[in-house]
Structure 1
Amino acid sequence: MPSDSSAIRNIGIISHIDAGKTTVSERILFYSGETYKMGEVHDGLAVMDWMPQEQERGITITASATTCRWGDYRLNLIDTPGHIDFTIEVERSVRVLDGAIAIFSAVEGVQPQSELVWRQAERNRVPRVCFINKMDRAGADYRQTLAQIVGRLKARPVLIQLPVGEEASFSGVVDLLTEEMVTFDEHDLGKSVIRGKVPEAMIPEIEEVRLKVTEAAADFDDEVMAAFLDGKKVPAEVLRRALRRGTLAGEIFPVLLGTALRNKGVQPLLDAVCFYLPSPLDIPPIPGHHPSGGGEERLSCDPNGPLAALAFKVMSEEGRRLTYLRIYSGTLKGGASLLNPARGAYEKVRHLFHMHSHRREEIQQAEAGDIVAVTGFQAALTGDTLCDPAKPLVLEGVTVPESVVSLAVEAKGGEDRERLDTVLQYFQWEDPTFKVHEDKETGQTILTGMGELHLEIVIDRLRREYGVQVKTGRPRVVYREALRRPVERREYFQREGEKRPEIAELLIRLTPLPRGSGIRVAVPPPAPPVSRELLAALEQSALEACQSSCRTGYPLTDLEVRIVEVPLEPGTPFPSEATFRAAARRGVVMAAREGAPMLLEPIMSLELELPVESLGKVLGTLQQKRGRVEGLDKRGEVEVVRATVPLAEMFGYMTDLRSATKGRGSYTMEFQRFEEAPPQVQEQFGL
């Protein structure tokens, strides 16, 4: 039996919307004995989709964590959303996962959101096994899906199963490593797995494909290579060991087949998770930085090491926080006092839980490698590090994607007004992509999120969970400002001090950067009387100034802000930090106004699926919306159009698409980049 940490698998399920993530999760819980009845997404009864909004819409909105056992192994499983508006749930999940199951539909293949979540996993170096689902559906073609994994994802899939039967006659799989046929008893919902001899007619194909598996495994094991070159058959266990090495290295991806809805193929998938995906002990030591600037330290998965954990998700339950942690080092116990270096705060663990979706199982302690939830924290947010106060350390945080749609809201009554700000603060704890600010001109509260559905869910939760009624405006695009030319400005700022006027002087240089660079702030090295703390305050104030914009109310981006000098006249009183902060904020804004500001608009990547006869009409509607077609593909009876289009043109587009395709068209889109808005849009904003 494996040791405790080596028997843990921290895994997530990632895919495009409607590829079957939650259905696979429900089967995993059922076959592992965690639940005694399968919940179905289409019935609104899935355990992992517990929010009313998820049950009504049949989609996953929030990542749900659960714990179950499979043989000697304990799986910490996170079911992630597939809709682009909730991509932060995938981002923060893959940040703390050791491995993932990537699910693809055998009919639709590699879809746009499949590519996005694959890139997220790639960026976080998460090993994956692939599951081609819906093998029983008409038009299922696993070979096409494999080709798309190679072509679109630039990955190397290794097929370790073959299907028995096609489409409606799909009845099981052939395990290419053991050369057995695997079927699933329909009388007990597929719980009984039956292994037997392979059909005679399939033997030549099995031998041919098994040879390809051996060839892939040979790249990672000398014993397999020698046997492959000698033409010998390699035992299943030796092949498995070699494939595991390649999977952990992120160079190959084992592929399994099945149909979760028809209860076929999930148990071999669970075996593959245990065989091929890493335990916490297989993960390289992770870097941590000392908050005081004392260098880097690498932490291995050691229960006896210094405690370090990452808060990757916060949930609000009537104003109380439930914080999800991935423990990377040390042992965490109930009642422990921890340091949050990012907030400069101490947090106390009141209770410690393993989660089963929204149900809790209280535990007394958790060790390195585990994923748990705690109550009692007051300040921690997504991406914060919690550590031993005696050994402060900061781990790498979570990448937060751009929020591109905003909505004005107004409380309906006095009681609603009193509660609105408080409840919106709860939502901001939970979701780093959800932002709230007040429009200084109108006094309205502006909500900003990832898309129309994201904000629609927020409004629905305000009403249902907290009884707050609001009136809403129309969704609006969130633009950005950028500069056309570099500019340098010497800023003098005077304010009344406690005893005498204070004057702070700064030399500030703004330099435009390439698209997608974001904001960079550079400060000179500290030299008396300018301290490191004052320079950090100037850096923070410059960032705040970029967020407040210079002309249109939208944040600045793609800009380097350099504090070139902090000149001080000998013998003059040293201004306060507050005076320097004000000088930095004003200096950045005034300099930006001199740098020929322009407006950037969000451009979305769009993929449409539509009947062939509607293609001409749909291409016409795209042209009217300033869309650029980048590719056309045929997928069975469906035409697939890939295009880019400004977000400003996409509000209400589903109505246009349904009209053009007689209700048979659908689309998915994701944020791609910001680019300069056309002159007519610039003029609307006075630029």
Structure 2
Amino acid sequence: MGKTLNLGVVAHADAGKTTLTEQILFRSGAIRRAGSVDEGTAVTDGMEIERSRGISVRTACASVQWKDCRINLIDAPGHADFLSEVERTLAVLDAAVLVISSVEGVQPQTRLLLEAIRRANLPCFLFFNKLDRAGSNWRKAFAQVEKECGTPCLSLTRAEREEEREAASVPLDFSSSDWEEAAVLASGDEVLLERLLSGEACDSRLWECLKDRVSRGELYPAVCGASKFGLGVPELLDGICRLLKEAEPLGEELCARVYKVEHDPALGKAAYVRLFAGEIRNRQTVDVVGKGGTGPEEAPAEKVTRVRAVEGRRFIDGECLAAGEIGVIYGMESVQAGDLLGKALSGLREYRLAEPLLLSRVEPELPEELPQLTAALRQLEDEDPALGCEWNREKQELWARLTGKLQIEVLEALLLQRWEIRARFGEPSVIYRETPASPAEGFESYTWPKPCWAEVRFLVEPLPRGAGFQYECLVSPGKLPYRYQTHVETAVPRALKQGIQGWQVTDLKVTLVDGGWHHIHTHPLDFFVATPMGLMNALRNAGSKLLEPVLKVELSGPQDYLGKAMGVLASRRAVFQPAELSGDSFRLEALVPAAEAMELPVDFAAATGGMGIYSSRFSHYQDCPEGLGASRGRVGPDPLDRAKFILAARSAMAGELP
């Protein structure tokens, strides 16, 4: 029986990722004719907006057979506005195929993906595309990748008639002395190097060493080609099957990750899963652990009502999914994309590429459709949790978190096509964060109205930028039982979603320094009520400092426009290094506050006469200068208004009481 490999295709937008996926399906016999992105016939672009715009918006999956390998193929979006889909795809892969244009070379999102792949030690194969295009220089792009990531690369093919319509990708002679020398150097094996220098044969040990290094993410095999014509595709598949090892199960217990969620009108919510250990059977009860493991007492258990396995481009009914397989399960109504099922085991890879930085109010054209719009956005949030929908009950307002303006166009199209709702997204504003300005304590004694009794005392301390959130409990179990300590620890991150100025609180340490309960009056959920009030009291005493998001921006274009490009950045509080000059073009990197970058793409395009290329990604949060930034109205009851908050909290939790 052959091995099963879970392979993902990723790239910078327009590098030819979907075209390569089509050719893999065609060459392996999964489809009769390769579709075209330009013609809207790509089989992996199943949504109307994908076919009309020529872009991938959602992850697509198919299975192919190549020689003795079964390859589960996942095609992820290429546009920067859909990086949340990419990060969930990377998290379920055995290896990635990174498509790079041999004309444009390493592009901004190529760098982002290379960095994420290298940090996670994910095995990676490089496909240098567009060999037939004018300006193609795949060896230059190859050298760029090695320089950017610091990981050795090994060519499996060479190019003939590059930049011509008759271009060809020719497999290298693996028995030649030149290739053997390059492979031995790439393997990093001292024994092989000694054999090479002494003239001994290296063949059998060489391929095992190469497989080990490739499977550990320490060596990137490379193929050049032209996916439009299928050039290099068989050589790529041969290299993958020969050099990539099948992943071992992470353990015995069930461990699976949901990488995609869809809503089927007939069957309900469909969860696309990759199993890392254990199995999922029809009618099995499965724990939904969540994205970070929210604690076993909170993990809902749901029954799987249907199991489907991937077969070509279709999913067929089955009874069981085993470790290493990809499939679709139904019946898990609480699940969201990115959730873990079963148990979080060591060995899982995690990625953080997407950071929503924009906040927009969403309104229906017809006010009476607001309930339907809310329900539709909740479904879309299951499919992409980064959307982070918020419903302000007091103001009857609906808000969504976004990564870019293209996402707005896609969401408007999805709402119209799937629910026939015409929606308007307001002008996006930047998502700030806040942090305590100084150390401070806060106290809450929730002992009235009875029955209740919960006392908490917190210490909040600011941490360096980028440190995130830390929690510590200094209260002994004799003073406060473990079950109530767990309630406090669970409630603190929830309370920090909105601080004094209405933004998420970060870069702080919260310490529970004291607590009290009563053996008669303490109710099971009292500490969920007391914790936000005590924590907000501490944050008010500490004072709040705004943090603003910063983008890492890359500008490139003809050297004649360098001065104008620097002028556009200088007016936006940008920090940048000297430009890199190559031939007649420049490349300039800068750190720009997101609030200053809203119109930067338009202004840069105007300054360069449309000849410049702009890209950006999230970098970090920094202190916001005094007088800049904006507070936000609170969503929901304010813990500092004790009477209203207690009433609202007790009413909301009335249905949860045992």
Could you state the TM-score of these two structures normalised by the residue count of structure 2?
A: 0.88
For the Cα contact (< 8 Å) 1:337–1:349, is it kept in 2? yes
For the Cα contact (< 8 Å) 1:12–1:77, is it kept in 2? yes
Letter in 1 for 2:185: E
Residue 54 of structure 1: how far off its partner (Å): 1.7
Work out which of the residue numbers 567, 589, 594 in structure 2 matches 1:647: 594
Work out which of the residue numbers 39, 49, 53 in structure 2 matches 1:57: 53
Match of 2:45, SS state, is coil
Letter in 2 for 1:37: R
For residues 397 and 105 of structure 1, the distance between their equivalents in structure 2, rounded to whole angstroms, comes to 27
Work out which of the residue numbers 594, 604, 607 in structure 1 matches 2:554: 607
List runs of 5+ in structure 1 lacking aligned partners: 180-205, 287-298, 300-304
Change (3 A) 1:534 1:455: farther
**Which residue matches 2:411?**
458
- 2:180 corresponds to 1:231: no
Residue 10 of structure 1: how far off its partner (Å): 0.7
Letter in 1 for 2:126: C
Residue 234 of structure 1: how far off its partner (Å): 4.0
Match of 1:588, SS state, is helix
The range that moved more, 113-122 or 358-367, is 358-367
Work out which of the residue numbers 136, 140, 145 in structure 2 matches 1:140: 136
Work out which of the residue numbers 337, 344, 351 in structure 1 matches 2:299: 344
**Which residue matches 1:84?**
80
Residue 567 of structure 1: how far off its partner (Å): 4.0
Change (3 A) 1:455 1:346: same
**Which residue matches 1:18?**
14
Change (3 A) 1:139 1:599: same
For residues 113 and 88 of structure 2, the distance between their equivalents in structure 1, rounded to whole angstroms, comes to 11
For residues 327-476 of structure 1, what are the structure 2 equivalents within 5 Å? 327-342=275-290, 344-355=299-310, 359-387=314-342, 401-439=354-392, 442-476=395-429
Match of 1:539, SS state, is helix
Change (3 A) 1:212 1:68: same
Identical-residue share of aligned pairs (%): 29
For residues 93 and 485 of structure 2, the distance between their equivalents in structure 1, rounded to whole angstroms, comes to 36
For the Cα contact (< 8 Å) 2:162–2:168, is it kept in 1? no
List runs of 5+ in structure 2 lacking aligned partners: 291-297, 634-658
RMSD: 2.6
**Which residue matches 2:568?**
621
Match of 2:579, SS state, is strand
For the Cα contact (< 8 Å) 1:602–1:647, is it kept in 2? yes
Change (3 A) 1:36 1:625: same
For the Cα contact (< 8 Å) 1:220–1:246, is it kept in 2? no
For residues 583 and 69 of structure 1, the distance between their equivalents in structure 2, rounded to whole angstroms, comes to 58
Letter in 1 for 2:130: K
Match of 2:505, SS state, is coil
For the Cα contact (< 8 Å) 2:479–2:515, is it kept in 1? no
**Which residue matches 1:478?**
431
For residues 548-563 of structure 1, what are the structure 2 equivalents within 5 Å? 548-550=498-500, 552-563=501-512
Match of 1:433, SS state, is helix
**Which residue matches 2:543?**
596
For the Cα contact (< 8 Å) 1:91–1:120, is it kept in 2? no
**Which residue matches 1:212?**
182
Residue 238 of structure 1: how far off its partner (Å): 4.9
Work out which of the residue numbers 207, 211, 226 in structure 2 matches 1:240: 207
For residues 108-131 of structure 1, the C-alpha deviation after alignment (integer angstroms, 9 at most, x for no partner) is 222221122223223433111111
For residues 166-186 of structure 1, the C-alpha deviation after alignment (integer angstroms, 9 at most, x for no partner) is 22266323433436xxxxxxx
Could you state the TM-score of these two structures normalised by the residue count of structure 1?
A: 0.85
Match of 1:576, SS state, is coil
Work out which of the residue numbers 88, 93, 98 in structure 2 matches 1:97: 93
For residues 165-314 of structure 1, what are the structure 2 equivalents within 5 Å? 165-168=161-164, 171-178=167-174, 207-208=177-178, 210-217=180-187, 219-220=188-189, 222=191, 224-232=192-200, 234-235=202-203, 238-281=205-248, 286=250, 299=251, 305-314=252-261
The range that moved more, 640-649 or 24-33, is 640-649
Match of 1:43, SS state, is coil
**Which residue matches 1:191?**
none
Match of 2:486, SS state, is helix
For residues 591-633 of structure 1, the C-alpha deviation after alignment (integer angstroms, 9 at most, x for no partner) is 1122231111110111123222222112211111222223523
Letter in 2 for 1:376: G
For residues 414 and 400 of structure 2, the distance between their equivalents in structure 1, rounded to whole angstroms, comes to 14
For residues 633 and 441 of structure 1, the distance between their equivalents in structure 2, rounded to whole angstroms, comes to 52
For residues 143 and 644 of structure 1, the distance between their equivalents in structure 2, rounded to whole angstroms, comes to 31
The range that moved more, 436-445 or 488-497, is 436-445
For the Cα contact (< 8 Å) 1:631–1:643, is it kept in 2? no
Match of 2:13, SS state, is coil
For residues 474-623 of structure 1, what are the structure 2 equivalents within 5 Å? 474-498=427-451, 502-524=452-474, 527-528=477-478, 530-550=480-500, 552-567=501-516, 574-623=521-570
For residues 177 and 588 of structure 1, the distance between their equivalents in structure 2, rounded to whole angstroms, comes to 67
For residues 273 and 255 of structure 1, the distance between their equivalents in structure 2, rounded to whole angstroms, comes to 10
For residues 599 and 8 of structure 1, the distance between their equivalents in structure 2, rounded to whole angstroms, comes to 49
